[in-house]
Amino acid sequence: MRNFFYKLTMIPKFLKDSDVAIPKKLLIIFAIAYTISPIDIIPDPIILVGWIDDIVLLLYSWTKLSEYLEKYIPKKKNVIKFRKKDIIEDVDYEIEDKE
């Protein structure tokens, strides 16, 4: 659940990114606009049934958007604290002594 809210905070970065294709940006804008809009495929006054189209659209949009937002989540580094110093694991180089 925490990941869900964290991804929500990544949406502005996603929308501002110039490398993201416009149709991908329109997906999130359309989903929000459709949910807020009084115009629905199934009218909202039909209790519960009227919300089904909104929920289906939001779930579909979120699954697609969630894939796109993975790019904006910083990757964890393999840093371990030991005696108040950082130890970095999984490095790609070695230090050799010249003796």
Query: Per-residue pLDDT tens for 3-62?
Result: 888 888 888 888 888 888 999 889 888 888 887 877 777 776 777 777 787 888 888 888
- Give me the pLDDT at residue 22, please: 92
Helices (H), the chain: 2-16, 22-36, 49-69
98 within domain boundaries: no
87 SS3 class: strand
Question: Taking the mean position of all CA atoms in its chain, how far away is CA 27?
Answer: 13
DSSP β-bridge partners for residue 80: 87
Count of all residues that appear for the chain in the document: 99
Q: How many structural domains compose the chain?
A: 1
- Give me the pLDDT at residue 62, please: 87
72 within domain boundaries: yes
75 within domain boundaries: yes
93 within domain boundaries: no
Q: Which domain holds residue 17?
A: 2-88
19 within domain boundaries: yes
21 within domain boundaries: yes
95 within domain boundaries: no
97 within domain boundaries: no
Q: For the whole model, what pTM was predicted?
A: 0.56
